[in-house]
Structure 1
């Protein structure tokens, strides 16, 4: 068997996981609601589709990781706990093929669940707004998909490193809480803690941008939000109280954030392969 065979079999099994589609449909419904809000607010003037797209980014930052983690955190750990992984490994297939095949399968499921939201957003943009910035929407869809696949990679890495469902669940929930829910409030985020220790306790006087770069490296949600800044014009970025790319150092530019998301897509899977190859599944 090969990576392709593992992915094909897993896709047919995993696509019946209703909770993935349940979360994906709710993501689409939230997009509709935010688009509708902007449409109704446009009663006093032309509705701004770019504002609706920014709302779509914010919704994605919260819900896309949930879709990805739910879809993938039991991909390997669930089979290890049930014992079915032994039958899979008894065939001519390597542990590396198992991890990579599971990743390909779950990444495909997540991408398919997000596709519905992107299609609906495109239809609403054409129906409700005077202009249709197809390039901006396509870039947001691409960045959101890359963001989702980075969380799939994290979930697969966690699943490959744990032997039970409960441990995989704790790992996935802990990662989501640390990199997403806490991130939404800068006052209690990990970066706020780092800034407090470095500048208030040790009085090192480190600037905001180096700390932001650390946040991008250690948190795919921050990398995603920074990557999307380059999609929007400067006037909207200013209205959203976000820094313009021209005002940022090179290492916190949207393009750098995209590269960091690509690293998040690869590294957790590779670490999962190494950990699973050493795991005792007997």
Structure 2
């Protein structure tokens, strides 16, 4: 019962966040823009606009999720209201997982709104709509969002102040959405090349580099989109029997699921042992 109370109260509080709705509203606005401009060409194609929404999701979904959840626990701790929240009585598990469910529900609602508007416009503006691809892209985007909400709540549960939670959220975004997914010398893969190839003289296999890059939720999401679109669309590679299982698009779902579960459990483990006095 206390878990439900935390979810209900937190959802009521966070839904008033203007910044969250502003960022989510921009994503919906871009969806309208994509589908409108795409419908005015000679060969209007829904899949092309879905592709654009998928690419934009890599930027907007982390912003929406982090804004929605990075203060979920840390904000309560800094203000002192966490003591009141834990005295109703609610356990610490109720707080962490209840916050996650409420923030995930709100972010999911914003994403469903954007894709729902896009689907409605597609029916009106396009001669043909592939609802199967539409549903798959929406589902993968929701999984990507759930992973980022988990990261944000986990960071919030690990920290005791707003400033540290903000620094953690910004740092995570910079590392996993900027440094991790590129292949330059100033990336994680570039750092591994420096350590193994330049320093130790050990050559890294291409599959190893690709797997390391896929550990980013953003890269895992982009790779998982091969499950949503027809084979060969927009240069998506067809299934290759020689591809290692850990580079298959199905395994990207495992990586995203791990990002949903692990940060939340780590945050709860740390929060359970934190001194709130």
| TM-score, normalised with respect to structure 1 | 0.91
Change (3 A) 1:229 1:198: farther
Structure 1 position 248 matched with structure 2 position 243:
yes
Aligned to 1:111: 108
1:80 and 1:273 mapped to 2: Cα distance?
14
Aligned to 1:272: 267
Deviation string, structure 1 residues 89-135 (Cα, Å, up to 9, x no partner): 12222111110111111111111111110111102222222221101
Deviation string, structure 1 residues 193-249 (Cα, Å, up to 9, x no partner): 3245434544433222222212223x11111111112222233241xxx44332733
Change (3 A) 1:150 1:129: same
Deviation string, structure 1 residues 142-173 (Cα, Å, up to 9, x no partner): 11011001100001011001010000000001
Change (3 A) 1:11 1:125: same
Shift of 1:184: 5.7
Aligned to 1:35: 35
1:1-80 to structure 2, matched below 5 A, reads 1-40=1-40, 42-43=41-42, 46-80=43-77
Task: Note if contact 1:237-1:244 (Cα within 8 Å) is conserved in structure 2.
Answer: no
1:113-262 to structure 2, matched below 5 A, reads 113-183=110-180, 185-187=182-184, 188-217=186-215, 219-238=216-235, 242-246=236-240, 248-262=243-257
Task: Note if contact 2:31-2:115 (Cα within 8 Å) is conserved in structure 1.
Answer: no
Task: Note if contact 2:232-2:238 (Cα within 8 Å) is conserved in structure 1.
Answer: no
Q: Secondary structure at the match of 2:52?
A: helix
Task: Note if contact 1:99-1:156 (Cα within 8 Å) is conserved in structure 2.
Answer: yes
Aligned to 2:91: 94
Shift of 1:180: 1.2
Shift of 1:250: 1.8
Instruction: State the aligned residue count.
Output: 275
1:175 and 1:143 mapped to 2: Cα distance?
21
2:166 and 2:200 mapped to 1: Cα distance?
37
Please, which runs of 5 or more residues in structure 1 have no aligned partner? none
2:227 and 2:198 mapped to 1: Cα distance?
32
Q: Secondary structure at the match of 2:232?
A: helix
Please, which runs of 5 or more residues in structure 2 have no aligned partner? none
